[in-house]
Amino acid sequence: MPVVATPLNLLMHQQSTRRDMTIHETHKHTFAVADVGDWDLDEDRSILPSIEHALKADGVEAVVDGEEFNSGVFYVYTRSPRETVEEALENQGIPLEA
């Protein structure tokens, strides 16, 4: 015998699927280090590996990409909120521009 789609059945189904859904959004956060001069860099080196390592060490899964024209600016693509990323960077001793 087929199930009859009554408004009550549909409502119960919608409520159960909404409750079970998990939404994972990737966020893009833009940051700038407080002073690039504090880093021991030359033209071939970047701060990006250090940023990525610092986030990973603090448990934040992320991909880090750099600004092409400004070595102190970088982008973090992650599912974590901005505050979590900021806190992780500060915990690892990476000062950010205000």
- Residue 1: inside a domain, yes or no? no
- Residue 5: inside a domain, yes or no? no
Q: Can you read off the two tokens belonging to residue 92?
A: 């690892």
Specify the pLDDT at position 39.
Answer: 56
Comparing 44 with 56, which gets the higher pLDDT?
A: 56
Task: Quote the pTM value.
Answer: 0.69
25-49 pLDDT per residue, tens: 788 999 998 876 665 555 545 788 8
Tell me the CATH number at 79. 3.30.70
Q: Domain containing 44: what range?
A: 23-91
Instruction: Determine how many CB atoms are found less than 10 A away from the CB of residue 4.
Output: 6
Per-residue pLDDT band at 1 (split at 50, 70, 90): low
Number of domains in the chain: 1
- Residue 69: inside a domain, yes or no? yes
What end-to-end distance do the CA atoms of the chain give, in Å? Answer: 65
- Residue 35: inside a domain, yes or no? yes
